[in-house]
């Protein structure tokens, strides 16, 4: 006897209520992004591995541990996308759009990482990604953060989410900070975790993201990024903060908030919550002026963010923010010979914008119980007498009230009873 097939660890099946919840998040988020002048883009869920390996770096956890990478039949190394930004930059370059900047795009779709599954962290999950290519002014950082804040507010999460931000400075400031950080960490090199020891030579800022408890203790006294800002970086940061203040956005400066990848610069930010345990980041972004150049395109000043759909949805559910189910009517034919006439009525009502579920049972009592268990708002009951007189019985499943309506007028009656 064969075993029961189960979903792959870290993946899951979704059904009606949860799908509706996520769809509501997507609809609200995309409506906000559209209001800021962003346009939708869709990229393949897999790319040549170089798209991600070149951009994420060989010291990142994503590349070293988490990618789903394989050779296809042409022996090309393929990777299921672990994030959307690199794919969007690749699309910008390969479609010849780098000469028509600025470009503002958003994407929604599945991404794949072989992580240890836990609450709100899956191996297949969905990102809402928003990227502003050709964003040169400090106020574009402010606008992007405000866009993220507006999405959070639109979803009703503003009271349980905190905006944290920091500045990495420009390339020169970042290089100076890396030198300071290396000098500091070399004193503790033997005490660092093996991963952090490997990163010390290649990507020391990644050590600041370490989850190892001993690493976290050692970096408590690490030098501050702000001490390494040159004048341009200091002025840029000052302008961003002034813009956020002008927009009356509340924020917390977090000196420990960094990005280990070299193409990030200046502003980085995260919207975090304490409501989801260890998976507290629900939306994160930053400026990445060097990414396009790293991928073979021109230098393009850019900023954007990604939000985890599952985390936003889970946070809404934790706050009892759930979209109402669409009310529907349940039509019952009393007798086999009335199934086709009932189907004609169902078809007519669906064409008029109503949601109709038709029952194909020949047991009225059983059908009514089924309608009740499915939370039908209304039952439509078609018997032989009703058909002869071109009417139908309408039963309000909440109040139990019944009345007879002409079939030609039932749409109006259902609209008032169902509120649609």
What backbone torsions phi and psi does residue 255 show, to the nearest 5 degrees? -65, -20
What does the angle CA 63 – CA 116 – CA 294 come to, to the nearest 5 degrees? 20
pLDDT of residue 58: 56
Q: Mean pLDDT, the chain, as a whole number?
A: 92
Query: What DSSP string runs through 100-125?
Result: S--EEEEEEEEEE--PPPBTTB-SEE
> Which tens digit of pLDDT belongs to each residue from 264-298?
999 999 999 999 887 789 999 999 998 999 999 99
Per the CB < 8 A criterion, the answer to whether 303 and 285 are in contact is yes
Per-residue pLDDT at 222: 87
Could you read off the pLDDT of 227-258 as tens digits, one per residue? 999 999 999 999 999 999 999 999 999 988 88
Q: Give me 327's structure tokens.
A: 């009310």
Q: Are 148 and 252 in contact (CB under 8 A)?
A: no
DSSP 181-196: HHHHHGGGGGGS-HHH
Q: Which residues contact 28 (CB under 8 A, 6 or more apart)?
A: 151, 154, 155
Fold for the domain defined by 329-418? Rossmann fold (3.40.50)
- C-alpha 359/C-alpha 364 separation (Å) is 10
Q: How confident is residue 62, by pLDDT bands cut at 50, 70 and 90?
A: low
pTM for the complete prediction? 0.89
Q: How many Å separate Cα 373 from the centre of its chain?
A: 33
Decide if 283 contacts 158 (C-beta within 8 A).
no
Q: For position 358, what pLDDT does the model report?
A: 96
For residue 78, pLDDT beyond 80: yes
Distance, in Å, from the CA atom of 144 to the CA atom of 137, rounded to the nearest integer, reads 11
End-to-end CA distance of the chain: 50
From CA 159, how far away is CA 261, in angstroms rounded? Answer: 31
Give me the CATH code for the 16-170+230-318 domain, please.
3.30.930.10
Kind of pairing between the strands at 281-287 and 302-308: antiparallel
Q: What is the pLDDT of residue 55?
A: 77
Domain boundary assignment for the chain: 16-170+230-318, 329-418
Q: What is the DSSP string of 22-33?
A: HHHHHHHHHHHH
Give the per-residue pLDDT at 324.
85
Mean pLDDT to the nearest integer, 4-22 = 93
User: What pLDDT is attached to residue 420?
Assistant: 73
Is the model's pLDDT at 325 over the cut of 70?
A: yes
How many CB atoms sit inside 10 A of residue 310's CB? 24
Higher pLDDT among residues 201 and 371, named by residue: 371
Q: Are strands 77-80 and 69-71 parallel, antiparallel or unpaired?
A: antiparallel
d(CA 136, CA 30): 24
**Per-residue model confidence (pLDDT) at position 56:** 74
pLDDT for 337: 93
pLDDT value, residue 362: 78
Within its chain, how far is the Cα of 40 from the centroid?
14
Q: How far apart are CA 40 and CA 247, in angstroms?
A: 26
Check residue 418 and give its pLDDT. Answer: 86
């Amino acid at each position: 006897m064969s075993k029961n097939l189960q979903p792959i660890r870290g993946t899951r099946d979704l059904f009606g209520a949860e799908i509706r919840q996520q769809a509501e998040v997507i609809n609200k988020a995309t409506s906000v992004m559209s209001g800021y002048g962003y346009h939708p883009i869709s990229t393949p869920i897999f790319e040549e591995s170089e798209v991600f390996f070149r951009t994420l770096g060989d010291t990142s956890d994503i590349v070293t541990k988490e990618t789903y990478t394989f050779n296809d039949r042409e022996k090309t190394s393929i990777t299921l996308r672990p994030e959307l930004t690199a794919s969007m930059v690749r699309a910008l370059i390969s479609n010849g759009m780098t000469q028509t900047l600025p470009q503002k795009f958003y994407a929604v779709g599945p991404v794949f990482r072989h992580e240890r599954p836990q609450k709100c962290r899956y191996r297949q999950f969905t990102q809402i990604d928003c990227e502003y290519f050709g964003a040169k002014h400090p106020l574009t950082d402010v606008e992007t953060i405000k866009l993220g804040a507006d999405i959070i507010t639109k979803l009703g999460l503003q009271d349980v989410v905190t905006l944290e931000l920091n500045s990495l400075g420009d390339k020169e400031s970042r290089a100076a900070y890396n030198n300071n950080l290396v000098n500091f960490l070399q004193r503790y090199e033997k005490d660092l975790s093996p991963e952090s020891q490997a990163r010390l030579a290649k990507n020391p800022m990644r050590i600041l993201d370490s989850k190892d408890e001993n690493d976290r203790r050692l970096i408590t006294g690490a030098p501050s990024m702000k001490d390494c800002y040159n004048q341009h970086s200091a002025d840029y940061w000052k302008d961003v903060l002034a813009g956020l203040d002008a927009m009356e956005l509340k924020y917390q400066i977090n000196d420990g908030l960094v990005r280990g990848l070299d193409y990030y610069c200046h502003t980085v930010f995260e919207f975090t919550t304490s409501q989801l345990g260890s998976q507290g980041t629900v939306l994160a972004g930053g400026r990445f002026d060097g990414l396009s150049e790293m991928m073979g395109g021109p230098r393009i000043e850019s900023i954007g963010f990604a939000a985890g759909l599952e985390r936003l949805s889970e946070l809404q559910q934790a706050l009892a923010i759930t979209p109402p189910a669409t009310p529907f009517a349940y039509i019952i034919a009393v007798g086999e010979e009335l199934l086709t006439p009932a189907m004609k009525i169902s078809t007519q009502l669906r064409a008029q914008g109503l949601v109709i579920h038709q029952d194909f049972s020949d047991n009225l009592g059983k059908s009514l119980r089924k309608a009740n268990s499915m939370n039908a708002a209304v039952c439509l009951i078609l018997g032989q007498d009703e058909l002869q007189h071109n009417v139908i019985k309408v039963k309000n499943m909440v109040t139990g009230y019944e009345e007879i309506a002409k079939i030609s007028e039932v749409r109006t009656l259902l609209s008032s009873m169902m509120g649609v």
